[in-house]
Structure 1
Amino acid sequence: MLAEDTSPRRRTRPKGRKQQILDSAATLFVQNGFPNVTMNAIAASVDITAGALYRHYPNKAELLALAIRQSLDSFPRIDSTSSLDEALSLACDAAVRHRQLGALWSRQLQYLPDDDQAELREHLRDINRTYLALIERYRPELSREQARLLSRAVESVLSSPGTHSLVLPSAEYAGLLKTACRSLCDTHLSENAGPASPSVPALEPVSRRELLLQKAIQLFAAKGVHATSMEDIGATVGVTGPSLYTHFRGKEDILAAALDRATQALWLDLGEALHQHSDARQALQAVVRGYVRRTHGRLQLTSLALIDSRDDPTVRTRQREYVREWVALIRSSRSDLEQAPARALAHAGLAVIHDVSRTPAAFDTSIEDNLTAMVMAILGCAD
């Protein structure tokens, strides 16, 4: 009779554990935002201990960088001989199949160390150069700046499925995005009449609280909320220490006030557009133009719409209500469109405005006209 083997069993790791961790981390980053995800939460999502997770990955920044690299690699490589239509078909199919990936690089990239950001942004520029070459071949009459503007907007449309939770059949959604991208690439663009007039020194309010709020909005737009501290905000107006907290209890208090300011500004613009126009398409164009103007204004109020609002149901509700007004105007302008596709197009148009506004390039005098025309083309409501 053989003696019973009582030696401890070595637990074998499931195959693909590292990839399982990476996939789960990417999902959590998209759902909750990078700052709100802990290594413990990632470990729990794949039923391992935090210690086991650290044996695979030293920190969550490395997980985010790898997730973004993987997402970029998942998009199809476009052959230089492909037509624009062929390239858009492949890209839109991939964008729908991997819809969380666009949200990774459009919203979470900012949380990486500078070196990783620089590397991944160069990867994004490589992808952009492909679309740029295809657009220049398709529309040789465009200037390099105009073609670059369109190629950047195509990227934004492709990343837009990651900015919302709307569910559409994959084939329908891919077709919707392709039509939007195709219309975008056909947009008539105004000629650049020269660089925008240099800004003059702006007058500032005498109210210290209002000045702090305005400076905070500018910092949130430029650096992101997560990277902006109360000290950063106070330093812009020379306020430090306890006196800073006599105006706001903390950064969350400032953020709430900034979001309220942005929401009210957008609703005022929308109300004005509805009041001045009886035609839905004209009203929609006025709303889009107002949104573009708010994005490129000194306070960049609409950039606050990018703020992760998962922990604030009031903000989420306000954002949904505002998008619903876009959807209503789109559907009034297009009798062929149901609610869900109209909402998907609204998010695509908003993504284009936000992404172009963050492009580190000088805006010329034609940008307001061109961005408005591009978004109207994406919505299928161009003249």
Structure 2
Amino acid sequence: MAARDLFVEHGYPNVSMSTIAAKVGIRAGALYRHFDTKATLLESVIADNFGWIDEPVNTAGFAEVVDDVLARVTDRPYLSDLWIHEVRYLPAEQARTLRRRMRQWTGNLVPPLRRARPGLDAGQEELLIWAIQSLTSCVGRRAIHAPQSVRLPVVRAGIHALTRAELPPTGAETVAPEAELLPVSRRERLLLAAIEQFSRNGYHETSMTSIGAAADVTGPNLYGYFASKADLLQAVYERGTHAMWLSLDEALAKTALTSGDSPRQALTAVVRSYVRIARTWSAILDDPTAEPGVVATTLTAQREYVGEWSALVSRVLPHLDPRVARLRVQLGLFLAADLYRNPRVSRHDSFPDSVTALVLAVLCDDSDAPKNSDPGPS
């Protein structure tokens, strides 16, 4: 348990065997008598904490499935962070086996989903299954600080809202161009390579050398633009933060609330603008291996950005508790990032419109709205 908690909080690469031993009050030598390497210890942590995926779920009905799934993760709040950030450090064959088992377990959700939402095409069905998994992971996600008493009902309602979303037909797979025209600017090429590699491999597993090679910038030239990997990460975060604000400003200007457009139209435009730019860098925002000092400098801007979304949600649903509005926004942002991580669903040309519809379904769910205009006693 001590190893698991340290891996989740700091990231596997940043935790030593001596740190784990100190956490449990023993010497490092005693720990090595049980686990000969840190990698062996990680394998044991993953095996112990994902054994439940071999157990069938209650498939009597979709509501029962949702309750069953949430019950499994509520007492294991560390699961999502282990899965997203630490499974990558398993030996390749073990990681493949675990992902295959997860896909098989996920298959249990398909029959009840089909009964709840008949008529979906195969791509829509798969997208919804992974969206449900993303929201389920938010029950324990470390980056979300809402108490469990608030978080769990919001996640449950969000999962049910997903199944009511109107999705476009899945369509064809997007074909990437054979050759990509890169900027002439070396600094810009380095930034683009860093965004892609941090997203795919994680901060710790990405080196300045690999970034430089991808951007065709090597030797002294590389460090002439960024003195360290931390400086490059800072620039990546700043790039993402600025992109978020610029796209939000543009979306709000186009919807022109003061000219008569509705808050729902404005929120739709903002979500669509975010989805359009979030493909790569959104996945690195909660990497526990990233430099803490660098990450801390971006938190204020991110909180303010979430606040803009929350204010729009509150205008769409005035009855909503502001804490719930903010939590819904966090769920929506993680949902977009998680789905972009999954090439099985993000490769379709309908994906941006589908993600926009799913995020809006979570944000704008009014199933618990008052049924009349009289709010009653508070």
CA distance 1:225–1:332, shift in 2 (3 Å): same
Choose the corresponding residue for 1:323, options 288, 292, 306: 306
Q: Which residue, out of 105, 120, 132, partners 1:142?
A: 120
Residues 347 and 124 of structure 1: is their aligned pair in 2 closer, same or farther, counting only changes over 3 Å? farther
**For the structure 1 residues 165 and 292, does the alpha-carbon distance in structure 2 shift closer, same or farther, using more than 3 Å as the test?**
closer
Q: Which residue does 2:184 correspond to in 1?
A: 206
Write the distance in 2 (CA, Å) between the matches of 1:328 and 1:65.
Answer: 43
Q: SS state of the match for residue 236, structure 1?
A: helix
Deviates more, 1:337-346 or 1:243-252: 337-346
The aligned residue for residue 141 of structure 2 is 162
Aligned pairs for 1:286-301 within 5 A: 286-296=269-279, 300-301=280-281
2:220 maps to 1:222: no
Structure 2: how far apart are the matches of 1:72 and 1:267?
Answer: 38
Whether 1:100 and 2:83 are equivalent positions in the alignment is no
Mean Cα deviation higher: 27-36 or 328-337: 328-337
What is the CA–CA distance in structure 2 between the aligned matches of 1:67 and 1:331, rounded to whole Å?
41
Contact between 1:284 and 1:326, CA under 8 Å: does it hold in 2? yes
- Name the counterpart of 1:364: 348
CA contact (8 A) 2:168 2:350 kept: yes
- 1:273 Cα deviation from its structure 2 partner: 2.4
1:105: how far off? Answer: 0.6
TM-score normalised by L of structure 1: 0.85
Q: Distance in 1 between matches of 2:315 and 2:22?
A: 47
**What TM-score do the two structures reach when normalised by structure 2?**
0.86
Q: Aligned pair 1:306/2:286, yes or no? A: yes
Aligned amino acid, residue 292 of structure 2: D
- SS of residue in 2 equivalent to 1:162: coil
Q: Is the 8 Å Cα contact of residues 221 and 304 (structure 1) preserved in structure 2?
A: yes
- State the identity %: 36
Q: CA deviation at 1:338?
A: 2.0
1:353 is the counterpart of 2:336: yes
> Within 2, Cα distance between the matches of 1:120 and 1:246?
42
Greater shift, 63-72 or 287-296, is seen at: 63-72
Q: Choose the corresponding residue for 1:335, options 318, 336, 358.
A: 318
Match of 2:216 among 230, 238, 249: 238
What secondary structure is seen at the aligned counterpart in 1 of 2:50? helix
SS at match of 1:187: coil
Q: State the distance in 1 between where 2:285 and 2:308 align.
A: 15
Give the drift of 1:376.
1.0
1:373 pairs with 353, 357, 360, which one?
A: 357
Correspondence 1:243-282 to 2 at 5 A? 243-277=221-255, 278=257, 279-282=262-265
- The letter of the residue matching 2:324 is P
Hey, what's the Cα distance between the residues in 1 that align with 2:291 and 2:232? 17
- Whether the aligned pair in 1 keeps the contact of 2:173 and 2:348 (CA below 8 Å) is yes
Question: In the TM superposition, what are the counterparts of 1:170-185 in structure 2 within 5 Å?
Answer: 170=149, 172-185=150-163
Aligned length, in residue pairs: 357
Q: Distance in 2 between matches of 1:75 and 1:320?
A: 34
| 1:112 Cα deviation from its structure 2 partner | 2.5
| Shift in CA distance, 39/80, structure 1 to aligned 2, threshold 3 Å | same
1:303-361 CA distance string (max 9 Å, x none): 33233357122123333332232222222322232233223322221222111111123
**In structure 1, distance between residues paired with 2:313 and 2:77:** 23
Q: Does the CA-based 8 Å contact 1:194-1:365 persist in structure 2?
A: yes
Distance 1:38 1:271, change over 3 A: same
Shift of 1:181: 0.5
How far residue 154 of structure 1 moved from its aligned partner, in angstroms, is: 0.5
Do the aligned residues in 2 keep the contact of 1:166 with 1:340 (CA within 8 Å)?
no
Query: 1:20 is matched with which residue?
Result: none
1:168-219: CA deviation from partner (whole Å, max 9, x where unpaired)? 244x532221111011022121113323354363332222122122122122
Change (3 A) 1:338 1:65: farther
Take 2:341 and 2:195, find their aligned partners in 1: how far apart are those partners?
15
Say if 2:136 and 2:155, in contact at 8 Å, map to a contact too: yes
Query: Does the Cα contact within 8 Å between 1:163 and 1:347 map onto a contact in 2?
Result: no
If you compute each CA radius of gyration, which structure gives the higher value, 1 or 2?
Answer: 1
RMSD: 2.4
Cα deviation for residue 76 of structure 1 reads 9.1
Q: Which stretch shifts more, 108-117 or 349-358?
A: 108-117
Q: Structure 1 residues 106-115 or 367-376, which shifts more?
A: 106-115
Runs of at least 5 residues in structure 1 that lack an aligned partner in the other structure: 1-22
The one-letter amino acid paired with 2:316 is S
